């Protein structure tokens, strides 16, 4: 059975992708910081799809923990075919003058450095399988919007790293692709707005947002193409979001 490693599977896009790939028969390495969620998820995926799971319970910002995880990975889990670099977050929605330095560091450390740590350790294994890396970027990596500054910057870096990986890894037969979503209703806004459920819900009011399954479907499409086909990137938006930071509310869209 093929093996996929997905970061950030305890919620949202990563969780939906875990279910989609499990349904396609992948054994899964699942990741997040919330151990209780990972354990419940492992049991669910095993019961529902009959697949095996291996827990990657760590914070992707911790370079040593990521390195230790890969160096002690049991042999049965080393033939990784797919890595989905999904773990990430936005923290805060302020202009630079009023922004929080802690928030900036969390975003830069997770979205950029965490993605790099996982990728660096996974590359030797992906070379053996001629595997596939999927980077979850964002429309925020293609455009900027008011008060999105540092989050947009981190996702522009993901866009650049996606291209750099593809240039570097093509010779090894490793495919590299990105998905760049617009507004998807997940825990994303709850995290960004520090647990304010009312404000977070209002982000998705008055239009039909994307759901995590929409992005999982795209990832499933990308990795199921024949080996000679590399989908470089997909930008996927709600119909009511024609550009980053622009949402057409209460128009029946």
List active site positions: 151
Interaction of residue 214 with ligand NDP, rule CB under 6 A: no
Interaction of residue 186 with ligand NDP, rule CB under 6 A: yes
Closest CA to 204 of 156, 240, 178, 162: 240
In sequence order, the 6+-apart residues with CB closer than 8 A to the CB of 215 are: 13, 16, 17, 136, 179, 181, 184, 236
Query: b/e string for 123-161 if b means 16 or more Cβ within 10 A?
Result: bebbeebebbbbbbbbbbbbbbeebbbbbbbbbbbbbeb
Task: Work out the burial of residue 122: count CB atoms within 10 Å of its CB; fewer than 13 is exposed, 13-18 middle, 19 or more buried.
Answer: buried
Nearest-CB residue to ligand NDP? 12
Quick note: the x/- pattern for ligand 8X3 over 174-193, rule CB under 6 A, is --------xx----------
Quick note: the x/- pattern for ligand 8X3 over 133-172, rule CB under 6 A, is -----xxx--------------------------------
Interaction of residue 135 with ligand NDP, rule CB under 6 A: no
Interaction of residue 92 with ligand NDP, rule CB under 6 A: no
The order of strands in the sheet holding 27-32 is 53-57, 27-32, 3-6, 80-85, 132-136, 175-181, 233-236
Closest CB 6 distance from ligand 8X3, rounded Å: 17
Return the residue of 4, 18, 19, 32 that touches ligand NDP, per CB under 6 A.
32
Interaction of residue 11 with ligand NDP, rule CB under 6 A: yes
Interaction of residue 110 with ligand NDP, rule CB under 6 A: yes
Interaction of residue 133 with ligand NDP, rule CB under 6 A: no
Closest CB 208 distance from ligand NDP, rounded Å: 13
Return the residue of 188, 233, 238, 247 that touches ligand NDP, per CB under 6 A.
188
Shorter beta-carbon distance to ligand 8X3: residue 65 or 211:
211
Shorter beta-carbon distance to ligand 8X3: residue 220 or 245:
245
The whole-angstrom separation of Cα 6 and Cα 211 is 18
**Cβ–Cβ < 8 Å for 240, 205:** no
Query: b/e string for 164-195 if b means 16 or more Cβ within 10 A?
Result: ebbeebeeeebbbbbbbbbbbbbebbbbbbee
135 binding partner (options ligand NDP, ligand 8X3, none; Cβ < 5 to 8 Å by kind): none
Interaction of residue 18 with ligand NDP, rule CB under 6 A: no
How far, in Å, are 121, 127, 200 from residue 172 at the CA level? 15, 6, 43
Shorter beta-carbon distance to ligand 8X3: residue 74 or 146:
146
**Binding stretches for ligand NDP (CB under 6 A):** 7-14, 31-34, 37, 59-61, 86-89, 110, 114, 136, 138, 181, 183-184, 186-188, 191
């Amino acid at each position: 059975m093929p093996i996929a490693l997905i970061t950030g599977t305890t919620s949202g896009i990563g969780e939906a992708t875990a279910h989609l790939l499990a349904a396609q028969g992948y054994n899964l390495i699942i990741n997040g910081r919330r151990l209780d969620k990972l354990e419940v998820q492992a049991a669910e995926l095993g019961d529902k799809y009959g697949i095996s799971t291996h827990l990657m319970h760590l914070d992707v910002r911790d370079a040593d923990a990521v390195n230790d995880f890969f160096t002690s990975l049991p042999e049965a889990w080393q033939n990784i075919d797919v890595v989905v670099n999904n773990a990430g977050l936005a923290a805060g929605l302020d202009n630079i003058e009023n922004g929080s330095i802690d928030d900036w560091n969390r975003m830069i450390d997770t979205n950029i450095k965490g993605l790099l740590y996982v990728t660096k350790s996974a590359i030797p294994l992906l070379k053996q399988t001629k595997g596939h890396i999927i980077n979850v970027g964002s429309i925020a990596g293609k455009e900027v919007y008011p008060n999105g500054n540092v989050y947009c910057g981190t996702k522009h870096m993901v866009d650049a790293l996606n291209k750099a990986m593809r240039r570097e890894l093509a010779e090894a037969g490793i495919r590299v692709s990105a998905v760049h979503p617009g507004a998807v209703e997940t825990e994303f806004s709850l995290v960004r707005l520090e647990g304010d459920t009312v404000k977070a819900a209002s982000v998705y009011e008055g239009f039909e947002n994307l759901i995590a399954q929409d992005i999982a479907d795209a990832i499933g499409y990308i990795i199921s193409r024949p080996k000679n086909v590399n989908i470089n990137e997909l930008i996927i938006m709600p119909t009511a979001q024609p550009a980053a930071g622009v949402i057409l509310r209460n128009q029946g869209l």
